[in-house]
Amino acid sequence: MKKVYQLKFFYTIGFVLWMLIITTGCIRNQDRTDQHQQTLHIIHAGSLTYPVKMISQAFQKEYPDVTILSEAWGSKAGARRIMEIETPCDIYLSADYSVIEQMLIPDHAEWYIKFAANEMAIVYTEKSKFADKINQQNWYEIMLHPDVHLARSNPDHDPCGVRTVFTAKLAELFYKKEGLAEMLLQKNLDNIRPKETDLIALLESGHVDYIFLYRSVAQQHHLSYVQLPAELNQGNPLMENWYAGVSTETLGAKPGTSIVEKGKSMVYGLTIPKKSKKRHLAENYLVFMLDSNKGMKILEDSGQPSVVPSYSPFFDQIPPSLQKFAKRQVTENQENEL
């Protein structure tokens, strides 16, 4: 009987040791997997969907062990996702650099780099009503026709929506047509969508005839577009004073608040949010993205000209590896000293 108990004891000890060996091996294998498996989370403007996909594919050729997960949002909605929801984000790419400054700095980010430009356009297909007649001179008359349906994105969620408002208001000033902005912005209010890329489905399905959209997105999707005068398209940095003559009120960073946004030329911005857990990997991605022979070439081929390097008021907070893609902002006092 004693031998039976001894055998059971030894069997039990052996089983426990065997389980420990297996468990330890599993943990070590998991550690090895975690070391080699790197996931980068990117939240980006909807208008960057195509270039981000192409840049990520090119990046993964140099970093094959990296998995890239990206989410397309209206830039303001994307910023709120970083602020309000415990979701991972290692890189944030905004269609308007001021979204980073107004909504994320200082609590959720410390700096930004301006990296690309764009411009507004009137986008349509060959199926759109009066597609054979619309041009740079009569576009607003065509769009106001009773049989024509329009769509635009929500200015509370998306910079493209804000810039649509500015386009309408600048058109009223430029063409000296009192009430033009309100007529354009009050038409087909049921066709307002959260972000600009949501509008493409409405257009291609024939639900609407014309949409206010970035020229780069129209080019990427091989859509027809009217190239607006520089006074309206917000694509010329030399016309900042003219663009600043219009403004609109949108939702602020916190519930119940609002901000007044002034017109300005279109410049995209990027940052690494404070919540990032892969900062070094995020820096590597951005170094690749901002390289004129790599990511920036893809962006420019996609219809978005580079503005790198540009001035940043947060230059000293930019990681050293990325400072070469920005310029130190010179203050008024420093200018006087010079």
For residue 200, the one-letter residue type is I
Cβ 158 vs Cβ 74: under 8 Å: yes
Count of structural domains, the chain:
2
Residue 240 inside a domain? The answer is yes
Element (H, E) at 224: strand 224-227
Q: Which amino acid is at 142?
A: I
User: 124 with 109, same domain?
Assistant: no
302 and 189 in a common domain: no
* Same structural domain, 127 and 234: yes
Closest CA to 271 of 157, 41, 110: 110
Please report whether residue 16 resides in a domain. no
141 contacts 226 by C-beta, under 8 angstroms: no
Per-residue pLDDT of the chain (338 residues; tens, 9 = 90+): 444 445 444 445 554 455 444 444 443 443 333 334 699 999 999 999 999 999 999 999 999 999 999 999 989 999 999 998 788 999 999 999 999 999 999 999 999 999 999 999 999 999 999 999 999 999 999 999 999 999 999 999 899 999 999 999 999 999 999 999 999 999 999 999 998 889 999 999 999 999 999 999 999 999 999 999 999 999 998 999 999 999 999 988 777 889 999 999 999 999 999 999 999 999 999 999 999 999 999 999 999 999 999 999 999 999 999 999 999 987 544 434 43
Would residue 130 be called left, alpha or beta, if left means φ above 0 and alpha means ψ between -120 and 50 degrees? left
Q: Exposed, middle or buried by CB within 10 Å (0-12, 13-18, 19+), for 220?
A: buried
Residue 5, domain member (yes or no) = no
Residue with tokens 């001894």: 6
Q: Is 321 within the bounds of a domain?
A: yes
The CATH number of residue 321's host domain is 3.40.190.10
Decide which of 225, 251, 277 is a domain's last residue: 251
Residues 280, 322: one domain? yes
- Asked if 226 and 132 sit in the same domain, the reply is yes
Query: 68: exposed, middle or buried (C-beta count within 10 Å: 0-12, 13-18, 19+)?
Result: buried
- Out of 251, 274, 306, pick the residue that ends a domain: 251
Residue 69: strand, helix, or coil: strand
In-domain check, residue 256: no
Does 243 lie in the same domain as 124?
Answer: yes
Going from the C-alpha of 15 to that of each of 12, 18, 248, 326, 338, the distances in angstroms are 5, 5, 72, 62, 79
Residue 106, preceding bond cis, omega within 30 degrees? yes
pLDDT of residue 13: 53
Q: 179-217 burial by CB neighbour count: b if 16+ within 10 A, else e?
A: ebbeebbebbeebbbbbbbbbbebbeeeebbbbbbbbbb
- Nearest alpha carbon to residue 66 among 56, 79, 74: 56
Domain-terminating residue out of 191, 216, 251: 251
Domain of residue 106 covers: 37-117+266-337
Structure tokens at 121: 């356009």
**199 and 148 both lie in a single domain:** yes
Q: 309 vs 62, 109, 216, 312, CA distance in Å?
A: 24, 20, 20, 9
Does 153 share its domain with 240?
yes
Q: Is 7 among the domain residues?
A: no
Shared-domain flag, residues 183 and 101:
no
User: Are 242 and 270 found together in one domain?
Assistant: no
What angle, rounded to 10 degrees, do the helices at 279-290 and 49-62 form?
110
Q: Look-up: residue for tokens 């016309």? A: 239
Residue 13 lies in a domain: no
Same domain (yes/no): 126, 228 = yes
Residue 32 lies in a domain: no
Same domain, 113 and 198: no
